[in-house]
Amino acid sequence: MIPAQFTLPRHEIRSILPFRRWRVPGSRDGRGFTYIGLLVMVAIMGIVLAASGEIWYTAQKREKEVELLFIGNQFRLALTQFSKHTPGSSRRYPVTLEELLADSRYPGVQRYLRKIYPDPFTRKPEWGLVAGANGEILGVHSLSDEEPLKKSNFKLVDRDFEGKTKYSEWVFMSTVK
């Protein structure tokens, strides 16, 4: 036990150390401040994460659109080249997409595509096909029904895509008439 001569009453201790705030046991001063601050911080983090998630989703979709335009134009070019390289005077289109990988009409291997590219939106190598009267492939399109972000400012060869409401309406047709 400490002798009484060495103890100070609380009000004297507070006057000696004014920079330190003393809590009296049982008082409710400052309770919940940290909890409210933590809730505000979690709410702000949620808003920031939601905004960054939306930005990331939009960037990913734009990247897929650029990829779809590139792949579609590769198919368009391959279909055009296949038709132009038909022996004889009549034009012929491929019956399957695999014919674009290795043309069997020539003694040597003639390739118009390196591989059947997957659709950027479905991630499958399946494409919607635009068939001609004899079953030949005149064009391809995506099987995605998502709404495109890009609605205008297409290149001249893709100007028909302006105002389309689905990626499946972006049809990449051969340019040979």
In a domain, 37, yes or no: yes
d(CA 40, CA 32): 12
In a domain, 13, yes or no: no
Q: Check residues 138 and 22 and name the one with the higher pLDDT.
A: 138
pLDDT reading at 49 higher than 90: yes
In a domain, 18, yes or no: no
In a domain, 95, yes or no: yes
In a domain, 28, yes or no: no
In a domain, 87, yes or no: yes
Q: Check residues 67 and 6 and name the one with the higher pLDDT.
A: 67
d(CA 35, CA 12): 32
**Burial (0-12, 13-18, 19+ Cβ within 10 Å), 79:** buried
Its domain, for residue 91, covers 33-173
In a domain, 136, yes or no: yes
Q: What is the pTM of this model?
A: 0.73
Total of domains in the chain: 1
pLDDT reading at 148 higher than 90: yes
